[in-house]
Every structure is written in structure tokens, then in C-alpha cells.
Copies of this chain bind each other. A is one copy, B any other.
Amino acid sequence: MTRGFVSLVGAGPGDPGLLTVTAVRRLREADIVFYDALVQPETLAIADHAARFYVGKRAGRPAIAQDTITRLLIRAARRGKRIVRLKGGDPFVFGRGGEEMLALRAAGIDYEVVPGISSAIAAPACAGIPVTHRGLTSAFVVVSGHDRAALAPVLGAIAPGTVTIVILMGLGTRAAAVELLLARGWSPDTPAAICRGAWTPDLAVWTGSLENLANAAAGDGDMPGTIVVGAVAALASATPWAEADAPCPASLKAAR
């Protein structure tokens, strides 16, 4: 019997062209795929020989508890299966990949981590915003807006204007983020941007300043959004890419 193996794989921000070569190979070879929300159908279709199970969130709540997921991974690996645990973005950026890695280690299961393109960097890039830029910023901090309780200590810990701030999944809590940053002494004029649906055909970019970020029209609440606060947000391109109907660069060239 083959020895089972678990690959913790990052699916990137959406566009299947931003999967890594190794991620594609693992999906093609997989017996079983356990996948989260934010994974595109085209990405999942690569694993057309595999049994595929959704273990992400439904209506904001986990469909399956985290320890149930790790139990499923361990059980399947002990049956000799090649398993892909597929997560949006990168498995180690707010993906709970670390917890699954520790559980697999403790159970003595062979595993690997296949990093993915994180929206923390790629969503701003899709809007023409570099997270670092000579003369503007030499560091960036990444925080999740999904966990409202975690925002306050992090945003309170950083001196105003010193770094680019990237908030993932922060559309719903952006009013709180703005309040925290203004209270911490950030200038209301600090450039800010929201990148929604980055690297999907639904890209929508809003740019403005910190003081009007909370009231920015953010559309429906379902689409994940990445918020950028800092001087680099002003580099967003109004007509971001070479062709107006091309939502993102990879799609642009692929469509030619």
C-alpha cells in the first residue's frame, strides 16, 4: 500500500493562472480534495479525478469544525490516499494551515506545504498598487479584518504613517479600522483603497482617503475585499491595465 500524503496547498487569489506549477500537479494527482470557500470552480476542476469535499464556511460559520477537518485528513492519509487540502490564497496566511500542519505532525502523517499567491500582496497589485515602493514605504503589515477583536491591538501597535497597512477580509469591519487608525494618529488624508474581486472578472477598485474609507460604497458583502492604507494606495491606476475590459493582467494577456 502507498503511504498517504497530505499537501496543504494555496489556491492563490482566484485566477487559475496564478496557481503554482506544483499546485496544479498536486490537484491532478490527488485522490481527495478538501476545499474551502474562495476557491474558484476552474481551479477545482483541475482535480477532476479526485473526490472533492467542501469544508469551508456556510453563512459565515464553519460548515465543519476544525478538529473534524484534521481528523478527516489524518484518516484519509492512513488509508494511503494522496490528499490536497486546498485553501484560498496562501495556507499560512490566516488559513489555519499552521494548525493542520501541527495536527499532521503530531499524528506522524507525511505532509508538505505548497505556498500560494496571497491576496495580501496580489489584490493590491491587481489594482496597480505595490505594497512597498521606494520613497513611499519600506514595510507593510498584514492583518485580518475578519477577526474584529484582533484589529485593535495590531492597529494600535503601529506608529502612524510608518508602514503600508493591508487588511484582508476587512470590508465588514472597516469603520472600526478607520476609527482605530484615526485615534492612533493617522492622518485623515492618508490614501486608501479597496480591491474587491481581485484576479476574478468581478474586479472593482475604490480609491480615496482614510477619512472616507468607512463610507465608501463597497457593493454587496459577499465578495472578499482587501483594504490598503498608506501612500502607495495613491498609485492605483484609474484605468488599471492596458485594456479597459480586462479585469486583471493575467486575464488580459490570456485573452489575446
The number of residues on chain A lying at the interface, defined by a beta carbon within 8 Å of a beta carbon of chain B, is: 75
Q: Is A190 an interface residue (CB 8 A)?
A: no
Inter-chain CA distance A159–B140, complex, in Å, is: 15
Q: Is A113 an interface residue (CB 8 A)?
A: yes
Residues of B within 8 A of A162 (CB): 153-154, 157
When distances are taken between beta carbons in the complex, the residues of chain B under 8 Å from A241 are 111-112
What separation, in Å, do the CA atoms of A235 and B103 have in the docked complex? 12
Check if A61 is an interface residue, CB within 8 A of chain B: no
CA gap between A112 and B127 in the complex, in Å:
11
Which residues of A (118-139) have their CB < 8 Å from a CB of B? Answer: 118, 121-122, 124-126, 128-134, 138-139
A 141-172 to B, binary, CB cutoff 8 A, 1 in contact else 0: 11110010010011011110011000000000
Closest to A109 in B: B242
Tell whether A80 is near chain B: CB-to-CB under 8 Å: no
- Docked-complex contact A112 and B253, CB < 8 angstroms: yes
Query: Does A195 lie at the interface of the complex (its beta carbon under 8 Å from any beta carbon of B)?
Result: no
The answer to whether the Cβ of A232 comes within 8 Å of any Cβ in the partner chain is yes
Main secondary structure of the interface of A (DSSP, over half): mixed
Q: How far is the CB of A162 from chain B (nearest CB, A)?
A: 4
* Residue in A25, A112, A162 whose Cβ sees the most chain B Cβ within 10 Å: A112
Contacts of A62 in B (CB 8 A): none
* B21 and A105 contact, CB distance less than 8 A: no
> How far is A21 from B254 in the complex, measured between Cα atoms in Å?
11
* Contacts known (A5-B253, A16-B21, A163-B157); A138 close to B144, Cβ less than 8 A: yes
A19-B21 in contact (CB<8A): yes
Which of A47-55, A67-75, A86-94, A216-224 is near enough to bind chain B?
A86-94
Given contacts A17-B25, A114-B249, A139-B144, 19 further A-B contacts (CB under 8 A): A18-B21, A20-B21, A22-B254, A25-B253, A26-B253, A92-B125, A92-B132, A93-B121, A98-B130, A98-B133, A102-B235, A113-B128, A114-B250, A115-B117, A139-B142, A141-B141, A143-B163, A153-B162, A154-B162
